[in-house]
Structure 1
Amino acid sequence: MEPAAPPLLQLSGLEQVFDTKRGKVPAVSGVDLTVGKGKVVCLVGESGCGKTTTARAAAGLTRPTGGQVLYRGKDVARMAKQEWNTYREDVQYIHQDPYASLNPVRTILSSVTGGLKARGIVKTKKQAREAAIELLTRVDLTPPEYCLDKYPHQLSGGQRQRVSVARALAMEPKLLIADESTSMLDVSIRVSLLNTLGALRDDLGVGFLFITHDLAVAKYFAWDGEIAVMYLGKIVEQGPTPQIIGDPQHPYTKALISAVCEPDPKLARAKKTIRLRSSEIPSLTDLPSGCAFHPRCPLYEPGLCDNELPILESIDSRRLSCHVLARDLKAG
């Protein structure tokens, strides 16, 4: 029997510490994540928890200060030049803000085909135009001829984000890292773009590391995948999406889910609200001792949660980082 192929992307003990005037800031601390072919992993959490920093390290845009980023089992930091070029083509990044990620002085045609020209995949203006038409059609930006010679400011936000997706698809990626790629869009446009990305996942086997603060979006896009919940640079709970959404265990996950708006008045009234001990998020330059969530956690036990750093351990079919839950679940 042949050994199983390594996953597309594997983050192992990923750490990212920034030096600032206020001291060292541990933006990401020991993150482990795996994304397979055609699979979706949603990384969710509040703003400032380290999601984008993790995504940028996974895409090779920044070099982590600790741990490893493995692509198809190979350490990105130790890749030869040709391997690195292949990795940078295979792993594409969709930025959150289409206003900023597209060059305002380049036409849509130029933006979409820039990578193809740089790699020598298209050599003539006719080839570039044909390639751009195919890419824009793939992301449902039709008729494509309407957009090719326009500039980003002449398109709507939804159209600009589809252009960003088309540009990412130009290199025929194996993995897409989408960083809050729908947060700036209207709901109807958001669903349409998520459906487009879902078709790419299903039809082309593209893997996704999907960054979002919106659990409703995570539920919609990653129902057959996994959700990893991040708090102050660490994963606190991870598992299959139906399990995380339907039966959350970590108090922070419960708080995030309870904050999701419920349109049905009857369900909204019956919804259980999670009350945290504090609404204040600790500073990364002055993290609490022990579990970083303990100042806000309703399960807090003095002498345990504030003294010992919890580990992320597998319990049943999920991973949890909580002293109290790990003890209670193991006890049955």
Structure 2
Amino acid sequence: MSESPLLKLSGLEQVFDTRKGPVAAVGGVDLEVKAGKVLCLVGESGCGKTTTARAAAGITRPTSGAVEFRGKSLTEMNAAERTDYRRSVQYIHQDPYAALNPTRTVFSTLTAGLKRHGLVKGRAEARAKAADLLRLVDLTPPESYLDSYPHQLSGGQRQRVNVARSLAMDPKLLICDESTSMLDVSIRVSLLNTLGRLRDELDVGFLFITHDLAVAKYFAWDGEIAVMYLGKVVEHGPTPEVIGNPQHPYTKALIGAVCEPDPDLAKANRSTEQLRSAEIPSLHDLPAGCAFHPRCPAFEPGLCDGERPLLQLASRRNVACHVVARDRVPVDDRTLTFDAVPGSRRPEPESAI
């Protein structure tokens, strides 16, 4: 029997009212995150990744659909269950400069939640706990950082403090919203390795938001990738399958845009068909049929601009594409799993980022 998910999104929709009318930022998303596993949500800016993450974290209430934590819908939780959810699901923001209060020391930042929930007694215990948290994220010796203010830290150190703060509540799920995008490459790899160690040692699940498929490839190699486009998931499956054998034209375009150090692979990526248009359609006026068809190199009139494609099984992953659905080779879908592909190798940092 498969393990039950920590987090489950079912038919999640988020509609915002604007001067030009309602805008569906997220248009029906179904995702699951299990303990100790990584789900990367990938796509261009404005595709709905952060809106999905904020709903999953309970920061915003979705227009429709359900967010479940350990099998219980957020809307049906009592006060005690809601408190447990708030402590178990922590959010790491993108900007390490804006996420920390400039008037608080690192010690004050790390212990605010501990004091609020009565998890420490006295200053000595709080200071010892804060020091342990800094060691977890490789900020050592902790005495060098506890009494520092954010402006005295580098970007990488600030983001590690953000991670340490999220770990203070002993979380079961971390939602990382572009948490490495503003860091230098060397610091990015180091932080990803730290997060990976926490995942393995503490069995923490991750909903990892990124626009960078290279980062997704490195961090979620043993997990899954869900590719979003204009509020919908267009491809979802095991990371080695999605990266190594993409099916949706949009996923292929994203992979083709990644800088590839291997000359042969770089040449192959450049030789792929170019997008028909670089312009992203407006959410106020989505095209008929597949929303990607105005840009899609595989566009077929009468097929792609008719009905919206459904997310369905194809080659060990789910794909929303009329052309793929028509041309796919039949497989035994009963064998479909989203576990890591047997025999696949985790990419090295220098080849992934």
Which TM class, normalised by the smaller chain length? Answer: over 0.9
Instruction: Give the corresponding residue for 1:215.
Output: 213
Correspondences of 1:78-93 after superposition (within 5 Å): 78-93=76-91
Q: What secondary structure is seen at the aligned counterpart in 2 of 1:57?
A: helix
Instruction: Give the corresponding residue for 1:166.
Output: 164
Q: Which runs of 4+ in 1 moved over 2 A?
A: 3-6, 263-274
Instruction: Give the corresponding residue for 2:183.
Output: 185
> How large is the RMSD of aligned CA atoms in angstroms?
1.3
Correspondences of 1:116-131 after superposition (within 5 Å): 116-131=114-129
Map Cα deviations across residues 4-47 of structure 1 (whole Å, 9 max, x no partner).
65310000000000111121111001000000010100000000
Aligned mates of 1:9, 1:89 — CA distance in 2: 14
Q: What secondary structure is seen at the aligned counterpart in 1 of 2:5?
A: coil
Q: What secondary structure is seen at the aligned counterpart in 2 of 1:135?
A: helix
TM-aligned CA distance change 1:270 to 1:313, over 3 Å: closer
Amino acid aligned to 1:288:
P
Map Cα deviations across residues 189-211 of structure 1 (whole Å, 9 max, x no partner).
00000000000111111000000
Offset, 1:110: 0.6
Aligned mates of 1:289, 1:112 — CA distance in 2: 49
Instruction: Give the corresponding residue for 1:251.
Output: 249
Offset, 1:225: 0.3
**What are structure 1's unaligned runs of at least 5 residues?**
none
Map Cα deviations across residues 88-128 of structure 1 (whole Å, 9 max, x no partner).
10000000011111111111101111110000001211111
CA contact (8 A) 2:315 2:328 kept: no
TM-aligned CA distance change 1:163 to 1:261, over 3 Å: same
Instruction: Give the corresponding residue for 1:313.
Output: 312
CA contact (8 A) 1:254 1:274 kept: no
Instruction: Give the corresponding residue for 2:327.
Output: 328
**What are structure 2's unaligned runs of at least 5 residues?**
332-353
Amino acid aligned to 2:72:
K
Instruction: Give the corresponding residue for 2:7.
Output: 9
Instruction: Give the corresponding residue for 2:288.
Output: 289
Aligned mates of 1:257, 1:120 — CA distance in 2: 47
Aligned mates of 2:318, 2:286 — CA distance in 1: 22
Instruction: Give the corresponding residue for 1:198.
Output: 196
Instruction: Percent identity, please.
Output: 72
Offset, 1:316: 3.5
Aligned mates of 1:131, 1:98 — CA distance in 2: 22
Offset, 1:317: 1.5
Amino acid aligned to 1:283:
S
Q: What secondary structure is seen at the aligned counterpart in 1 of 2:292?
A: coil
Offset, 1:305: 1.2
Amino acid aligned to 1:261:
C
Q: What secondary structure is seen at the aligned counterpart in 1 of 2:328?
A: helix
Q: How many residues align?
A: 330
Offset, 1:331: 6.2
TM-score (norm 2): 0.91
Instruction: Give the corresponding residue for 2:27.
Output: 29
Offset, 1:330: 4.7
Aligned mates of 1:174, 1:274 — CA distance in 2: 42
Aligned mates of 1:329, 1:239 — CA distance in 2: 16
Q: What secondary structure is seen at the aligned counterpart in 1 of 2:98?
A: helix
Map Cα deviations across residues 170-205 of structure 1 (whole Å, 9 max, x no partner).
000000000000000000100000000000111111
Amino acid aligned to 2:155:
G
Offset, 1:274: 3.4
CA contact (8 A) 1:258 1:274 kept: no
Offset, 1:266: 4.8
Aligned mates of 2:96, 2:199 — CA distance in 1: 21
TM-score (norm 1): 0.97
Amino acid aligned to 1:219:
K
